[in-house]
Structure 1
């Protein structure tokens, strides 16, 4: 399946943030969703960032898929945060390109399933820019390389507005993924663009690629703004 890019672009806003604490990012998303729904914000927003180390639990929970003692995470200062997105437990950390599209789906003409496929397409095209052939897999949403998971997706929709999004492993430390059954899938190995290419990658180049494909696939003309548009 190949999700076509949208030829007609709508105005959108870009928040390109180097690193942001997960809870702060969640609060930012909630405020943007509320503003978009209330009409105080008249266009969609794409947030691109990286997170300090954190585990998040989706609506299905996932603490049962943590394979190390919670005390070990506390000693390392890694929080576990329950949230409202779909999916199970996952890890975020530096070197992972995280995209949060705050999109009013009805006005943009998106159905939830096609929107999720579009987010997968962004990661597939980004991986291809670095010589990695990623694809979808029937086992779980996201993108995969030779049976290993490269990027994850979990979204939520409130008042027709999407939030949460995708996480593409670029140069992230993969060790913490070994402390869970990623996305609730036992025996699944996570990978990264760096591991698949065997090269030292420039995270800035990965982020530029993500932004380029986000604009094309979602049909957004992204104008940079500060965190509070």
Structure 2
């Protein structure tokens, strides 16, 4: 039987508020007071995040320049190094308890990559994995970042948060502020760049939802959030 999934479209929302929403759902799952499987779909304003394996040395611009250009910088508890978020990038945060997927964290991360690969394939883009580098790649360029974190319920079941960031219409020049994921010999790309034209963000949200539900065997219900909620 397909897993019921609450797919919430949040629009553009700042990173701190999105993290608050994630952690509230994580705590509800850890406490067992709300079993809903949830995905938050959203965009962020210009934000640089530094993962647990990251370093500020991979941010290339001085703090005053970043501030002047509208970037915020946050240290976060996901895996990985330095990542950029910004307008035109579609971010998904799956807040899931993993028993329906064999409670297998490694498989969960592979499935995050797999559903993006399938969504890209539907428009003729060949996304691949590259060795032990996380994310989805088109040739030598990363098109989608993947960074997950889990916490454990008393039962031993894992609960996931953080997720994926697909460059759809992303201003790729903004990546010049960082060494993405600490990788210096590879680039970044976007769906718009590969296909040669700007993309519909609603189309890509639906495409990712369809592929996610295919890979994870989910039945989604869709909702948004009012300005009072966010």
CA distance in 1, matches of 2:223, 2:60: 40
Q: Distance in 2 between matches of 1:60 and 1:166?
A: 17
* Residue 216 of structure 1: how far off its partner (Å): 1.2
Q: Write the mapping of 1:24-63 to structure 2, written as runs, cut at 5 A.
A: 24-63=17-56
In structure 2, the CA distance between the partners of 1:170 and 1:125, relative to structure 1 (3 Å rule), is: same
Task: Work out the CA distance in 2 between the residues paired with 1:183 and 1:195.
Answer: 20
CA distance in 2, matches of 1:49, 1:99: 7
1:195 to 193, 196, 209: 193
Q: Are the equivalent residues in 1 in contact too, given 2:3–2:100 (CA < 8 A)?
A: no
Distance 1:57 1:73 in 2: 14
Higher mean C-alpha displacement, 178-187 vs 78-87:
178-187
Question: For 1:1-229, what aligned pairs fall within 5 Å after superposition?
Answer: 8-159=1-152, 160-227=158-225
Per the TM alignment, residue 187 of structure 1 is displaced from its structure 2 partner at its CA by 2.6
Q: What is the rounded CA distance, in whole Å, between the counterparts of 2:42 and 2:110 in structure 1?
A: 21
Q: Which residue pairs with 1:5 in the alignment? A: none
Q: Give the secondary-structure state (helix, strand or coil) at the position aligned to 1:25.
A: helix
Aligned residue for 2:187, secondary structure, equals: coil
Structure 2 residues without counterparts, runs of 5 or longer: 153-157
User: Using the alignment, how far apart are the partners of 1:200 and 1:12 within structure 2?
Assistant: 29
Please say if residues 155 and 165 of structure 1, whose CA atoms lie closer than 8 Å, have aligned partners that are also in contact.
yes
Q: Write out per-residue CA displacement over residues 13-62 of structure 1, whole angstroms, 9 at most, x where no aligned residue.
A: 11111111111000000000001111221221111111111000101122
How big is the alpha-carbon RMSD for the aligned residues of Structure 1 and Structure 2?
Answer: 1.4
Aligned length: 221
Does the Cα contact within 8 Å between 1:181 and 1:187 map onto a contact in 2? no
Instruction: Out of 84-93 and 11-20, give the one that drifted further.
Output: 11-20
TM-score (ref. length: structure 1): 0.92
| Equivalent pair of 1:99/1:167 in contact (CA under 8 Å) | yes
Q: 1:55 to 1:222 in 2, by over 3 A?
A: same
- Of stretches 41-50 and 216-225 in structure 1, the one that deviates more from structure 2 is 216-225
